[in-house]
Each structure stands twice: as structure tokens, then as C-alpha cells.
Amino acid sequence: MDQADAGERCPGRPRDREATRKRILDSARELFTSEGYAQVSSRRIAAHAGVNVALINRYFGAKRGLLAEVIAEEAAFPGIIEGDRAGLPRRLAEHVVNRVLAGGTPLSRALEHSAGDPDLVSVHQERLRNAIIGPLAEALGGPDARARASLAASLLLGVGLVRRIEGAGSLAEHDAERLIRRLARIIEVCLEEDPGAGAA
């Protein structure tokens, strides 16, 4: 049932560290992506890769390390934060709709499937800080930059979480372009320097 196309061990296969590492990584990415982190056991990954279970720990330290490597493969927000400030909310909104909601990347899929598994959270912790909130705050500048970046990040992560929980139902009522415009507008408010008189 498992080890579908990855091919089983067929013990004649020559010993090759890198190839074996890659087999494990590929299987992990595929399974994490389609089923989530917590739902896929080490033994299943190994079986899918046609490889002994112990090799996961040999090459990646632990299942957690395997997750970290899968996640590290993709860039956080490639070219999104770096652009001009005015278009930033729009670009973030597009990213959410196109990647997170569409379920493109292993990262977002894993997040959606096992949204806050302890291991996953701890791996993302550093990532959120270093690859999202940090750069975003730096790009923003001004007072409370980190707080404003955190608010935007909250929305981004929350949308993914709700999408996972709700099954893309409500959020898909809009067509993509409308949703992007809405999100961009909300993110703009998240990133604003001063709430001003505000509502309420």
C-alpha cells in the first residue's frame, strides 16, 4: 500500500548516503503534505521510502529534524516583503490566497493538517520570528514595528488555521480577487503606524 512509487528496498540497491537521504526526504514531504505531520509515523515514512526506520534518526536526528528539513526547503515569503511599502498588503494577501489557501506548499499544508502539533509549532517558532515577523518589522520601521508585524502574522496564520478547520468553506465564498482585496485592506490596517481614533 505504501512505498508506492518510491520503490522498495530490493536489497541489491547500492549503498548511497545521499540517495537514501533524498528518498526519506521525498517520502516525508509527500506524506506530510498530504496527511500532516502528526498523522504520519516514522515507520510509515521509512516504509514508503523503502528504507529502514532507524535511518531516519541516523540522517535527521529525529522525526522532528525531518520535518525541519522539509520545511526549510521552501523560502518563507520569496520577494514579498522586499518590495515597496505601498504594495505590501496586497502582496501578502495574494500570497495567502494563492499559496496558503490554495494549499500549495508543504509548509502550509502541514500547517493546515496538524496545525499546531508541538513539534511543528516549535519548528515554526524560529521561522515565524526570523523569516516573517522579523523582516516584516524591519521593512515597516517606525514605532511598534514588531507588534504591527505580529498582528499581520496573526491574520496570515489564522486564515490558514481557519481554512483547515472550516475546510475552505466560508472563505471561498468570495472569488479570489475579492478575497485578496479584502485581506489586503485588513492587512493594511494591521500594519498601520497609529490606530488613530479608530472604531468603537
Establish if 177 lies at the interface with DNA (CB under 7 A): no
Cell output for 127: 521561522
Establish if 58 lies at the interface with DNA (CB under 7 A): yes
Are 28 and 105 a contacting pair, CB within 8 Å?
no
Establish if 144 lies at the interface with a copy of itself (CB under 8 A): yes
151 is in the binding site of which of DNA, a copy of itself, none (Cβ under 5 to 8 A by kind)? a copy of itself
Name the one range near a copy of itself by CB under 8 A: 5-13, 17-25, 75-83, 147-155: 147-155
- What is the spatial distance between Cα 172 and Cα 160, in angstroms, rounded to a whole number? 12
Establish if 154 lies at the interface with a copy of itself (CB under 8 A): yes
| Contact partners, residue 95, CB within 8 Å, separation at least 6 | 77, 80
Are 92 and 132 a contacting pair, CB within 8 Å?
no
Pick 50 or 160: Cβ nearer DNA: 50
Backbone angles phi, psi at 12, to 5 degrees: -75, -20
Establish if 14 lies at the interface with DNA (CB under 7 A): yes
**For the chain, where are the alpha helices, taking DSSP H only?**
17-35, 42-49, 54-60, 63-72, 88-95, 106-113, 118-127, 134-140, 145-166, 176-191
Please name which of 164, 163, 162, 155 lies closest in space to residue 182, comparing C-alpha atoms: 155
Please name which of 23, 26, 28, 27 lies closest in space to residue 10, comparing C-alpha atoms: 23
Pick 58 or 178: Cβ nearer DNA: 58
Cell output for 90: 496586497
Among 28, 51, 153, 180, binds DNA (CB under 7 A): 51
Establish if 55 lies at the interface with DNA (CB under 7 A): yes
**Number of residues this chain uses to bind a copy of itself (CB under 8 A):** 60
User: Residues interacting with DNA, by CB under 7 A?
Assistant: 9, 11, 14-17, 19-20, 40-44, 51-58, 61-64
User: Residues interacting with a copy of itself, by CB under 8 A?
Assistant: 36, 38-39, 86-87, 89-90, 93, 111, 114-118, 120-121, 124-125, 128-129, 133, 137, 144, 146-147, 149-151, 153-159, 161-162, 164-166, 169-171, 173-174, 178-179, 181-186, 188-190, 195, 198-200
